[in-house]
Amino acid sequence: MLKLKTLLVVLIFILPLEQTAHFNGDRIDQRGGIAIGQKAPDIVQNNPEGKEMRLSDLRGKIVLVDFWASWCGPCRRENPNVVRAYNKYQKAKFKEAKGFEVFSISLDNNERAWAQAIKQDGLIWKYHVSDLKKWRNEAAQVYGVSSIPSSFLIDQNGIVIAKNLRGMAIDQQLDALVKQL
């Protein structure tokens, strides 16, 4: 009986503590992905033209990291909200940040469909990346993305300050960071 209790303690309390991974030096809980308050791990993938782009290049700005795909109906319906937020805040003056940017990660595996959806949906920002591995996308795995659309709002220091913002919730979060005139 004692061995059974010991085994249960190990399974219930100790093993879950070991379920972490390292990604660019940061510890990430694989069960829940990146949490609010954690440093956002760097994302390095290619854009549709094959150019490598890095999330870390946007340090100093507020960044909406947006996971989506061309084949995802809810993502495509959410894209107008992301476009609206980008247009509204791209030139805004923030209290502590040097601007706002969107960093889109596509879970596509078809480069042509991905590029076409960017154009069709008017996703005019320049930070679009994918490794074209669909659900095996490395960034999606590290961030714990299990459904899309999924988003992470990152502050100027690279810290996640909000997750899974939709519609006007994007504006509410960004409004709190904008300088008041």
User: Which string of DSSP letters, residue by residue, matches 23-38?
Assistant: ETTEEEETTTBS-TTS
Give the domain extent around 107: 22-175
* pLDDT value at residue 1: 55
The DSSP element (H or E) to which 41 belongs, if any, is none
pLDDT greater than 80 at residue 100: yes
Asked if the structure places residue 106 within a domain, the reply is yes
* pLDDT value at residue 179: 86
Say how many domains are in the chain: 1
Average pLDDT across the chain, whole number: 86
Asked if the structure places residue 127 within a domain, the reply is yes
Asked if the structure places residue 7 within a domain, the reply is no
What are the pLDDT digits (tens) for 109-163? 999 999 999 999 999 999 999 999 999 999 999 999 999 999 999 999 999 999 9
Query: Distance between alpha carbon 158 and the CA centroid of its chain, in Å?
Result: 12
Asked if the structure places residue 2 within a domain, the reply is no
CATH number, domain with residue 57: 3.40.30.10
* pLDDT value at residue 33: 86
Asked if the structure places residue 37 within a domain, the reply is yes
Q: pTM for this one?
A: 0.82
What are the pLDDT digits (tens) for 69-81? 999 999 999 999 9
